[in-house]
A and B are shown apart, each in its own frame.
Chain A
Amino acid sequence: MNYNWNWSIFFEPSPEGTGTYADMLLSGLYWTVVTALCAWVIAFTLGSLMGVLRTLPSRTANAIGTTYVEIFRNVPLLVQMFLWYFVLPEILPRGIGDAVKQMPDAPFYTAVVCLGFFTASRVAEQVRAGIQALPRGQRMAATAMGFTTAQTYRYVLLPNAYRIILPPMTSEFLNNLKNTSVALTIGLLELTGRARSMQEFSFQVFEAFTAATILYVAINLVVVVCASVLERSVAIPGQR
């Protein structure tokens, strides 16, 4: 085993000229977190909508929800990433396609949209499971009280369902965070991509990847702690 360890590499200036290697990794961390948060906004909204569609008593709504989930769940994320990044601008009408191609920060926006739509299919499954886990009586009671369907979901079903699915949603959020690394294939400078370029510039493979590993574990811990704080603060006193 002859590997030259050099842990002080992080304080040496990176060849990009904008700071040290540590700054480089931290900027990667920043983009990972920002991408994950933006994608989560789409995933949560669209996923909730699709999940609700699958629980409505309408066949068309069910079909739309099911089709969405099956399409986005059965195509690998990498392939979806390429479809959004390389294929979509080509099949749009020329003017719009060219505008999309010339957009600044295209990898970032593509990654956000792609991850958002991808994660939405998983969120939809959780939301559906949460709503179906509720006793049937709740929906009936709401109807008996004269609630419209929208009111039933807004005031009765969803507040309870979201509380039930908080733990699986936390792991979906973590998956979403980890999946941002796939966006390095379309040129997003997120944490894994930064660790990879640090390895290419400095040849200090294991230092770069160790640092990235520690940063990933650290954000995971932060998310888990935040989720348990959230769980405690939204818990209904006396329930369960």
Chain B
Amino acid sequence: MLSNFDFSVILTALPYLFGTGMVFTLSLTAMAAVGGVILGTLLAMARLSGIPGVWHLAKGYVELCRSLPLVLVIFWFYFLVPYIGAYVTGAATPIQVGAFPSALITFMAFEAAYFAEIMRAGIQSVPKGQTAAASALGMNYWQTMGHVVLPQAFRNMLPLLLTQTIVLFQDTSLVYVLSLTDFMGAASKVAQRDGRLVEMYIFAAVVYFAICFSASLLVRRLQRRVAIIR
């Protein structure tokens, strides 16, 4: 029962949970979100480019990522990244990649597929006439995208991109399967060390809920403010 719920366990673990765990979780989320959006935008542009080969490749990548569970992708990259690193640097043996870079590459590559779908909808939400007008003004593809289409696409899709980032924040807890020390990993390490599973897991749930719930309220407010009235 909850009668022997011990708050002091949580209190003493706080510096470790937030100083090590939450810092890892937040920096992974932020960097993966930025990288994922950039990569996702490129994927969306590739998919809409209509260049044979290029759009097939982009579509195949997005569909593949979306049909695989994140846990499997985390394992894939965990073993693949050392080989890719060896290939890129020309080393003969698989190179050692730290836990954080490996996790970052995984989440960037995986979430890019989801961000790509959002950005594709965003690019398509910009009326065709604007692209036509831009080329009538003599702008090339990159100028049209950079100055006309993408700024509006980002604005239209900002709430969705942020919602996806909240999902990403929750998903980073899955680095647990690689025994990394993100917030959840830190909580579970303390839980197992002190034999205090009830306190630590309930506390972790409360913290995740508080962060995600307030973030989604903020996104909802933002959604009302940035919405372009047509």
Interface residues in chain A, defined as those with a beta carbon under 8 Å from any beta carbon in chain B? 1-3, 70-71, 73-80, 82-83, 86-87, 90-91, 93-94, 174, 178-182, 184-185, 191-192, 195-196, 199, 205-206, 209, 212-213, 216-217, 220
Given contacts A191-B72, A217-B64, 4 further A-B contacts (CB under 8 A): A76-B170, A79-B201, A178-B68, A217-B68
CB contact between A75 and one of B2, B70, B76, B209 (< 8 Å): that residue: B209
Chain A CB within 8 A of B198 CB? yes
Q: List 24 A-B contacts (CB under 8 A).
A: A74-B170, A74-B208, A74-B209, A75-B170, A75-B205, A75-B212, A76-B170, A91-B1, A91-B198, A174-B67, A178-B67, A179-B69, A182-B69, A182-B174, A184-B177, A185-B176, A192-B69, A192-B71, A192-B75, A196-B75, A199-B79, A206-B79, A206-B80, A209-B75
Docked CA distance A193–B50 (Å): 39
Q: Which residue of B lies closest to A177 (CB)?
A: B69
Docked CA distance A65–B80 (Å): 43
Interface residues in chain B, defined as those with a beta carbon under 8 Å from any beta carbon in chain A? 1-2, 64, 67-72, 75-76, 79-80, 83, 86-87, 92-93, 170-171, 173-174, 176-177, 184, 188, 191, 197-198, 201-202, 204-205, 208-209, 212-213, 216
Docked CA distance A191–B75 (Å): 13
Query: Hey, which chain A residues are within 8 Å of B216, CB to CB?
Result: 74
Interface of A is mostly: helix
CB contact between B184 and one of A76, A180, A195 (< 8 Å): that residue: A76
Query: Hey, which chain B residues are within 8 Å of A93, CB to CB?
Result: 1
CB contact between B205 and one of A83, A90, A220 (< 8 Å): that residue: A83
Q: Which residue of A lies closest to B171 (CB)?
A: A76
Docked CA distance A127–B170 (Å): 23
Instruction: Establish whether residues A78 and B173, one from each chain, have CB atoms under 8 Å apart when the complex forms.
Output: yes
Docked CA distance A174–B69 (Å): 10
Instruction: Establish whether residues A87 and B212, one from each chain, have CB atoms under 8 Å apart when the complex forms.
Output: no
Query: Hey, which chain B residues are within 8 Å of A199, CB to CB?
Result: 75, 79
Q: Which residue of B lies closest to A212 (CB)?
A: B72
Instruction: Establish whether residues B197 and A3, one from each chain, have CB atoms under 8 Å apart when the complex forms.
Output: no
Docked CA distance A178–B202 (Å): 25
Instruction: Establish whether residues A79 and B72, one from each chain, have CB atoms under 8 Å apart when the complex forms.
Output: no
Query: Hey, which chain A residues are within 8 Å of B76, CB to CB?
Result: 209, 213
Query: Hey, which chain B residues are within 8 Å of A75, CB to CB?
Result: 170, 205, 208-209, 212
Instruction: Establish whether residues B72 and A192, one from each chain, have CB atoms under 8 Å apart when the complex forms.
Output: yes
Docked CA distance A86–B199 (Å): 11
